[in-house]
Amino acid sequence: MARSKSSQQWLQRHFSDPYVKKAQAEGLRSRAAFKLEELIDRDRLVKPGMVVVDLGAAPGGWSQLARNRLGSTGRVIALDILEMASIAGVEFLHGDFREAEALSRLKALLGDDEADLVLSDMAPNFSGVESVDQPRSMYLVELARDFAQDHLRPGGSFLAKLFMGVGFDEFVRDLRTRYGKVVVRKPKASRSRSPEVYVLATGKR
């Protein structure tokens, strides 16, 4: 089947993207790794021995970077609704985070460990209709927030992708009641035309 003009344009932009080229050159799973790299370097979020939970992990760019930064210490636990090729030292669960069964398996794998850092790069399949897409994206990040509330150690950190729109301000205000510091950032690797930003909450109360 021939690709549509819009698909061809997307592919052309994608493969000419300097971060895509850099990811390929460095053997990274995705350009998204550079978003996380900027965020964790700025705030020194990943340290040896930490337990990191990566929600919405596929294709594995964030898990791969976190595992590299941890070296042989700590744990990286990843979950996604999509299959993900294995990464040495990363414990992966295939499941839908919105469903109780997947959440139960994730909690069982975590066991008695408390997370030091919860990452969420989750996003819904977009329809192009903001009134549909924004509530779906907010629902996912709210689930991630609730998981972090239950499984982060005191003082731990939560980093999640958000999309500007309805519910954004209320979500950030809510995080400020749960964490000592909350900031919103737009990494350089995040495409300028994208409404995505990242909220970093540190110092869980």
Task: Retrieve residue 105's tokens.
Answer: 């398996």
Strand partners of residue 51: 75
Cα–Cα distance, 119 to 112 (Å, whole number): 19
**Does the annotation flag 113 for ligand binding?**
no
**Does the annotation flag 133 for ligand binding?**
no
Cα–Cα distance, 188 to 179 (Å, whole number): 25
**Does the annotation flag 10 for ligand binding?**
no
**Cis upstream peptide for 59 (omega within 30°):** yes
**Which positions ≥6 away from 71 have C-beta within 8 Å?**
48
**Does the annotation flag 80 for ligand binding?**
yes
Q: Are 203 and 177 in contact (CB under 8 A)?
A: no
DSSP structure string for 172-193: HHHHHHHEEEEEEE--TTS-TT
Query: How far is residue 108 CA from its own chain's centroid?
Result: 21
**Does the annotation flag 96 for ligand binding?**
yes
Looking at 47, 107, 161, 204, which residue is catalytic? 161
Q: Are 89 and 64 in contact (CB under 8 A)?
A: no
Cα–Cα distance, 49 to 31 (Å, whole number): 26
Cα–Cα distance, 48 to 41 (Å, whole number): 14
161 is catalytic: yes
- Known binding-site residues for S-adenosyl-L-methionine equal 60, 62, 80, 96, 121
Hey, which residues are catalytic here? Answer: 161
